[in-house]
Amino acid sequence: MSKHMTPDPRVMKDWQIAEASEERMKPFMQLAAELGLREEEIIPMGRGLGKVDGRLVLNRLGKNPTARYVDVTAITPTPLGEGKTTTTIGLVQGLGRLGYRVSGAIRQPSGGPTFNIKGSAAGGGLAQCIPLTPFSIRLTGDIDSVTNANNLAMVALTSRMQHERNYDDARLARTGIRRLDVDPRRVAMRWAIDFCAQALRHIVIGRGGKMDGFEMESGFQISVSSEVMAILSVARDLKDLRERMGRIVVAQDRQGRDITTADLKVDGAMTAWLVDAIHPNLLQTIEGQPVFVHAGPFANIAIGQSSIIADELGTRLSEYHVTESGFGADIGFEKFWNLKCRFSGLKPSAVVIVATVRALKMHGGGPAVKPGVRLDEAYTRENLELVEKGCENLRQHIAIVRRSGVRPVVCINSFHTDTAAEVRLVRRVAEEEGALAAVSEHWLKGGEGARELAEAVVSAASETNHFQFLYELDTPLRKRIELIAREVYGADGVSYTDEARAKAEAVERDPALSQLGTCMVKTHLSLSHDPEIKGRPRGWTLPIRDILVYRGAGFVVPVAGDIKLMPGTASEPAFTNIDVDVETGKVKGLF
């Protein structure tokens, strides 16, 4: 393909578009210079990507943000997703077409979904982040560093348990080891791996003789759900990260007292793994705008936000900075609103809710949508009744954003099968609920296709909003959960298992824990706890089955419904389509 020809997403796959676009990609040094970075502030790691030393930049530019700050969230998605990252990239490109100095911040894709069902998270069509292959596979090693830091804590814990079992107190004293008396039934951490590996959810370790470790039940979680990743997401700088790393609770002793990474004297070594990872990665859109890529996905089981440091940089270096939150407004935006903004001190100027006619039809009672299965004709033919019923889900998401004091912009992410009447209906509903609405064709037309959306965002950002948190930190934990359940999810109330209630009461009695943020764990496929319930559920109760505490990240984590920290790999995963051209070394088949 000629360098001057525009790729056509109707006949080309995403990886082919990315490969063609990378031929005219800006060199990293040029990209950084156009963003206003100085040579000593950047760490090149290839022709088209590298890292930015946030400490140096923020020391130079000061504490006051200069950019309009825009968050991108969505309605409750189908299992295929609603194109939220594609919209984020498209909006960055659209604002660029309007002449604004703009940057974006998205999350680094996990190897789990990249090689499973969902694929990479670089966007799609003519709204992508490039270079695609390093973006999708390893990047600069941040997730590897998170994995290693997490697993080093587990190595420290399990080796300590073995030595304490094998040595008497006198011998422990001679080696300088303090007996921690770890209760093997109260180990809070898991091992980490960045794949969807259901076979590792529940395992037994330490089999063999007494020199082969402490035998006990254990398990793995996906790396991006680790508390270490949460800390990378919310840390303000290396000092803050180092302090948080020492507060991670790895287990409890037989008296029920917390044992931390600091108790194991492993927190410093864990931080050493993250010295480079704390620097955000800098990539670009296929139209040459800068995009920070930092921290991980999964707002259903993690905080699911691009990092605070990335947003600090973007809001100092740009006129508009667009950041992405995981999944729908009920979980991704709620955590952005009540956790990330609280930690960062940044306040959004506008919030975009991505919606598709396809998803609204599903919420209106359309046939099940399953990855790898051909869509039913209901999704490709006009059906105003399904769209109308499904708009109840959209209404709730608009209400969630408006509850924060910000007027939302509904982005109708356009598909070629959408009819004019269906689009008019969605626009009408959005405007009736007090939102702005815009159709966007960024997938097909890139930044030019996102002009209407960009103009709507500029209009919303120029309004004065009254951003406020849903709760203050002196609000008791169960009251916070009740507020989130009722005002965000639309539940009638909350129920607790005996274990969860006891843990919630313990949190409320502890002055240190009661001031932590609240990071809900819930399915992303429904406003409720049940992924099978679509639309806008009514007359239901949110069941809390467990309460986790992430002291290092600064979260108390209520777990609603049956949600797993380790997803499973499907029968037809994406890795079956990925291969390498052995002549050029180029990876093909990513999507």
Cα gap 175→167, rounded to integer Å = 10
Q: Where are the beta strands (DSSP E) in 453-583?
A: 493-496, 517-518, 541-550, 555-560, 579-580
Q: Does the structural domain 14-36+49-140+277-462 have CATH classification 3.40.50.300?
A: yes
Contact assessment for residue 32 and residue 117, using Cβ atoms and an 8 Å cutoff = no
Q: For each successive 10 residues of the chain (591 residues), what is the average pLDDT?
A: 68 87 92 97 89 96 93 92 92 98 95 83 90 91 97 96 88 84 95 95 93 93 94 96 97 96 98 97 97 88 91 98 94 96 97 97 92 84 96 98 98 94 98 98 96 98 96 96 98 97 96 93 94 96 95 95 85 87 87 74
491: β partners:
none
Please pick, among 230, 299, 450, 574, the residue that the annotation labels catalytic: 299
Tokens of 579: 């291969």
* Catalytic site includes residue 381: no
Of the listed 76, 86, 261, 323, which one is catalytic? 86
Q: Given the DSSP bridges, would you call strands 517-518 and 555-560 parallel, antiparallel or unpaired?
A: parallel
Question: Is 66 a residue of the active site?
Answer: no
Query: What confidence score (pLDDT) does residue 43 get?
Result: 95
- Locate the domains of the chain by residue range: 14-36+49-140+277-462, 143-271, 477-560
Active-site position among 28, 273, 298, 443: 443
Distance CA 293, CA 49 (A): 10
Catalytic residue among 395, 415, 588, 591: 415
Catalytic residue among 107, 160, 407, 536: 107
Catalytic (active site) residue 443:
yes
d(CA 342, CA 245): 20
pLDDT of residue 2: 47
Q: What amino acid is encoded at 455 in this protein?
A: E
Catalytic annotation, pick one of 51, 68, 84, 242: 84
Q: Quick check: 320 and 68 in contact, CB under 8 A?
A: yes
- Helices assigned H by DSSP within 50-108: 54-61, 84-97
CATH superfamily, with its number, for domain 477-560: Formyltetrahydrofolate synthetase, domain 3 (3.10.410.10)
Q: Could you read off the pLDDT of 74-113 as tens digits, one per residue? A: 999 988 778 899 999 999 999 999 999 999 999 998 888 8
191 is catalytic: no
pLDDT tens for each residue of 139-148? 999 999 999 9
Residue the block writes with tokens 């997490």: 150
pLDDT tens by residue, 301-334 = 789 899 999 999 999 999 999 999 988 999 999 9
Fold matches, 14-36+49-140+277-462 and 477-560: no
Superfamily designation of domain 143-271 = Domain 2, N(10)-formyltetrahydrofolate synthetase (3.30.1510.10)
415 carries an active-site annotation:
yes
- Catalytic residue chosen out of the listed positions 15, 327, 337, 555: 327
Query: Which entry of 68, 118, 335, 551 is annotated as an active-site residue?
Result: 118
What integer pLDDT is reported at residue 454 of this predicted model? Answer: 98
Phi, psi at 92, each rounded to 5°: -60, -45
Place of tokens 């001057």: 4
115 is annotated as an active-site residue: no
**Dihedral sign (CA 392, 394, 398, 400):** positive
63: annotated active-site residue: no
- CA dihedral (51, 227, 331, 322) in degrees, to 10, reads -10
Query: The pTM is what?
Result: 0.94
CA distances from 162 to 191, 210, 250, 267 (A): 17, 7, 16, 20
Strands 102-106 and 68-74: unpaired
Kindly state the tokens that stand for 423: 């689009």
Q: Are 31 and 285 in contact (CB under 8 A)?
A: no
The first and second tokens of residue 525, run together, are 């496929």
Q: Which residues pair with 44 in a beta bridge?
A: 50
CA 12 – CA 7 distance, rounded (Å): 7
